[in-house]
Structure 1
Amino acid sequence: MKIKVIIADDNSFIREGLKIILSTYAEFEVLVTVSDGKEAVDYCLKHEVDIALLDVRMPNMNGVEATKLICEQTNTKPIILTTFDDDDYILDAIKNGARGYLLKNNDPEQIRDAMKSVMNGNSIIQDVILEKIKSNLSETKATETKIDLNLFTEREREIMSLIARGFSNKGISKELFISEGTIANYITSILGKTGLEHRTQIAIYYITGKVE
């Protein structure tokens, strides 16, 4: 069954280009392209959409605002796709429920793989973006944290640290010598304690200490 996608970008060249690229892959069906966030939200409310690719800076409603409404009112998974690696946009988009944050200069295969990964329940944030967040938050290092240490067990803190460093569940399993199933259980516990929804938010929370 094909993954149903919409593309929202105020640059017609970019959105039509993305449509052509994604249409070359058998696993995707591009339902529509729109020019602003409001149009994207309205479409998702009326149709079944799997993934919404959203530019950040658009007229009427930007991608961050659209992400919030789409997550609150539909089952669509938003992915921010942009040329801007601005920290505020990144954090706000993730807080609003974005399941991915990718730069437009990625190869088509990377965008394809990221979208498929999101459909499989994962969250995607590029290393270059995560590193930028780390470097600009009071020079916070990946091994340092601002979280409430009393809220989590030592093992949960270890797993959060590795997630913030970009480790997958498989990578964490190898690092800590525990099964991926056990790691998934720990992540579920962390999400329950914080009220967060996915691992990308865990990474940001571990770095900033904030749940918003």
Structure 2
Amino acid sequence: MKYLKESPTVHESSTVQNSALGVWTELGPNTWIEESRFGDYSYTAGDAQIIYAEIGKFCSIASHVRINPGNHPMWRVTQHHMTYRCKQYRFDDRDDEDFFDWRRAHKVRIGHDVWIGHGAVIMPGVSIGTGAVIGAGAVVTKDIPPYMIAVGIPAKPLRERFPKDIAEKLLQIEWWNWSREKLEKHFRDLQDLERFIEIHSID
């Protein structure tokens, strides 16, 4: 059995560039993460690409997920990346930083405790609310509210995980911000929704 630890666990085949990884995180094989924040306890199963994104805590990212995939300048004569990766093609001695700044301005933001299914694609500029579920193979082009299950191409809301009053109570409790000590103390409560709400609700 592989045990995780407080410091991030990064597979040897994965690449981390200019990114911050939280505690108890894991990046599975062939994960690429660039200019992103990856929250505590979140993990990728592998073969994932995450660029210009903010990922919350306790997120479960299945294999072959792409978050903020590459974008091309359709407004130019050619959309080929030689127009912004100029150095690689020896057209210029520097790349087009304005284009990359444009991409950075369209970050993906993912809340806490989000489950993203196998092969899903989260398009630039999209926000996914805390507690949401994104179905396998979905292409998310619009914001998804908290605790919503979304599926399809393009992804559309299927149903809510919990009634609104329960979802609102969970959002108020913010258990994902608990200390490790408090998580350990109340770990069993996380497996029983009714008990959890009863004990931890904020009046």
Per the TM superposition, whether the score is higher than 0.5 is no
Q: Which has the higher strand share?
A: 2
Q: Which has the larger radius of gyration?
A: 2
If each structure's helix is expressed as a fraction of its own residues, which one has the higher value? Answer: 1
**TM-score, normalised on structure 1?**
0.25
TM-score by length of 2: 0.26
